[in-house]
Structure 1
Amino acid sequence: MIFTVTLKNDKLTVEINTKGAELNSIKVNGENRLWSGDPEYWTGKAPVLFPICGGLPDDKFTYNGAEYILNKHGFAKLKEFTVEHKNDLTATFLLKSDDETLKSYPWSFELRITYALRGAAVKITYDVKNTSADAMYMSIGSHEAYACPEGIEDYDIIFEKKENLNSCDLDGNLIAHSTTPVLKESDTLPLYYKYFAVDALVFKDLKSRSATLRNRKTGKALTVSFEDCDYLLLWTKPGAGYICIEPWTGIPPMVGSGYDITEKEGITAVEPDKSSTVSHTIYF
């Protein structure tokens, strides 16, 4: 049965759904800083992306000569997790592979997602254990949508360091063989809906390991740190009152790169009985 888990301290109240172990709300002094999930734009709020981030060519991959169908962003966001541990400040959610997941992803695994309140911050840790006999190939990422009720064009993204950023262009669900420059020797990226007319901004080779979303009129801000992730995406829909700041460990394949999951850019190989652990933190 799907239900909601609540964590609370003197600064934050956080709700997480057992479906997808997805954040439902993050309230700071009673104000929800996550997107509402308005179906006019997007019903998601903060899906967890596993075992792939983004899409695959024809929604499929190959491994050891066999072909598997795996939809965009994987299946974790659709599965019900069990609550393995909970107290007032921390909760760990567990998803184990099952007959359904094995049809589209031929590895046994245990995925644990831990949410921990630390003052005015939420640390989110993904721990993926390979319980198969062979090396497992996976990526994992976050997709938190932060509320921008005034519209995103009142906001900037401020990077930890000055950046020269080119966004990887997208061709459907895949990375195109071209880029679009969006930032030159600056740490501040003003947000405009025009950036998202096609899809997301996709950044790799970032020097920064944190990004701040700041309302340039009010100064209200939050910061996402992503020390363990090499890719960062920004996404919204034109006119919507949210911006997603998405640290990923992998990205979609490039057009024409083939179906072999072992050769996918950013893919993580996890040896049998070993784990891959990554985290990111949201500061308010």
Structure 2
Amino acid sequence: MIRLTNDYLTVLINPFGAELTSVKSSDTEYIWTADKQYWGRHAPILFPIVGRLKDNQYQYQGETYQMTQHGFARDNEFQVDSQTDDQVTLSLTQNSETLAKYPFKFKLTVKYELRDHELSVSMTVTNIDEKEMIFQLGAHPGFNVPFNPFEGGFDDYHIRFAPQKDYTRVPLKPPYSDPDDTSTVDLRKPVELNHELFNQDAQVFELDGEQVTLLLGNNLSETGVSVHIDNAKYVGVWSPYPKESPFVCIEPWWGLADTINADGNLEHKFATNRLAPQDKFTGKYEVTFF
């Protein structure tokens, strides 16, 4: 386990999946504990897809490939490229197993940098192939709700959006996206958390690459987190249903699950990104803990 520290926070990162597993101040654990009765992960990295493929498969250049939800990065060991007391860079490149699922040569680099009360996370995809690369990317950090046992229950928490305005919501017809049935949601007021909110899976909002901050907290204490998203197309807010799970995920996404009418062709896939050979793409977010 990789440990980053400064005067305010201690951060643990698992090279398996390059997954953030803990962020602690003196008396608070902010990151979900991965209790398997609810959800056995902390903050997986989603690559090269976000969400689920129709029938867990797709076609590319006449071949059919199998891939399960959220891709394979979260289930691969990353190499540690560099490390200091307050930052670490890890990377994953293609191997025989990934090429059987995803026929592209790539390098996925994940950098964690601790600055005072803030953890910066950047995920860079490099196309090291000789052909254009089609991919999606996402983060999936889970936060304990409540942060501490004496700070209320799940229904006492809310998420505030900044800027406060109308956002487009993309519904899920679990487990697929339905971008033809979007609605407008007024997020000038907080999203009050309750488990029924997730009875159709995640709440997904279009960000269109704008800088947006989501603040998770309550009115009973000053403990909370703010997630500043630099350039994502979407953000997902999720907690398992119908389990009454004591955590919520705030997920910057550069992609979405297949649509309900997807034809399975990767080149037609909804909400993808494309990289020319040798080009790079970086998705970034920062979390402030208070």
Q: CA deviation at 1:168?
A: 2.4
Equivalent in the alignment of 1:278? 283
Q: Is contact 1:231–1:250 with CA below 8 Å preserved after alignment?
A: yes
Are 2:244 and 1:243 equivalent residues in the alignment? no
Q: Which moved more, 1:58-67 or 1:6-15?
A: 58-67
Q: Which moved more, 1:121-130 or 1:62-71?
A: 62-71
Q: CA deviation at 1:159?
A: 0.5
Equivalent in the alignment of 2:74? 77
Task: Name the CA distance, whole Å, in 1 between partners of 2:104 and 2:245.
Answer: 37
Task: Name the CA distance, whole Å, in 1 between partners of 2:263 and 2:213.
Answer: 32
Alignment-mate amino acid for residue 266 of structure 1 = A
Task: Name the CA distance, whole Å, in 2 between partners of 1:60 and 1:30.
Answer: 44
Q: Is contact 2:161–2:187 with CA below 8 Å preserved after alignment?
A: no
Are 2:84 and 1:87 equivalent residues in the alignment? yes
- 1:141-152 matches, cutoff 5 A: 141-149=138-146, 150-152=152-154
Offset from partner CA, 1:91-124 (integer Å, 9 cap, x none): 0111110000000100011111000001110000
Task: Name the CA distance, whole Å, in 2 between partners of 1:279 and 1:208.
Answer: 10
- 1:96-115 matches, cutoff 5 A: 96-115=93-112
- 1:205-244 matches, cutoff 5 A: 205=207, 209-237=212-240, 238-244=243-249
Q: Is contact 2:211–2:228 with CA below 8 Å preserved after alignment?
A: no
Task: Name the CA distance, whole Å, in 2 between partners of 1:243 and 1:78.
Answer: 21
Equivalent in the alignment of 1:164? 166
Task: Name the CA distance, whole Å, in 2 between partners of 1:100 and 1:79.
Answer: 10
1:52 is matched with which residue: 30, 44, 49? 49
Q: What SS is found at the alignment partner of 1:186?
A: coil
Equivalent in the alignment of 2:149? none
Give the share of equivalent positions with the same residue, in percent: 30
Q: CA deviation at 1:200?
A: 0.8
Q: CA deviation at 1:228?
A: 1.4
Q: What SS is found at the alignment partner of 2:190?
A: strand
Q: Which moved more, 1:24-33 or 1:127-136?
A: 24-33
- Cα separation, partners in 2 of 1:16 and 1:256, compared to 1, 3 Å: same
Alignment-mate amino acid for residue 81 of structure 2 = E
Q: What SS is found at the alignment partner of 2:171?
A: strand
Offset from partner CA, 1:7-30 (integer Å, 9 cap, x none): 000011000001100011001224
Offset from partner CA, 1:43-73 (integer Å, 9 cap, x none): 1110000001101111111222221111110
Task: Name the CA distance, whole Å, in 1 between partners of 2:18 and 2:136.
Answer: 17
Q: Which moved more, 1:274-283 or 1:254-263?
A: 254-263
Equivalent pairs counted in the alignment come to 280
**TM-score between both structures, scaled by the size of structure 2:** 0.92
Q: CA deviation at 1:178?
A: 2.8
Structure 2 unmatched ranges of 5 or more: 147-151
Task: Name the CA distance, whole Å, in 1 between partners of 2:100 and 2:287.
Answer: 34
Equivalent in the alignment of 1:260? 265
**TM-score between both structures, scaled by the size of structure 1:** 0.94
Equivalent in the alignment of 1:196? 198
Q: Is contact 2:92–2:109 with CA below 8 Å preserved after alignment?
A: yes
Q: CA deviation at 1:264?
A: 2.1
Task: Name the CA distance, whole Å, in 1 between partners of 2:103 and 2:64.
Answer: 10
Alignment-mate amino acid for residue 163 of structure 2 = K
Equivalent in the alignment of 2:186? 184
> Which structure dedicates a bigger proportion of its chain to strand?
1
Alignment-mate amino acid for residue 278 of structure 1 = G
Offset from partner CA, 1:133-180 (integer Å, 9 cap, x none): 101111111000001134321111111122324532222321134346
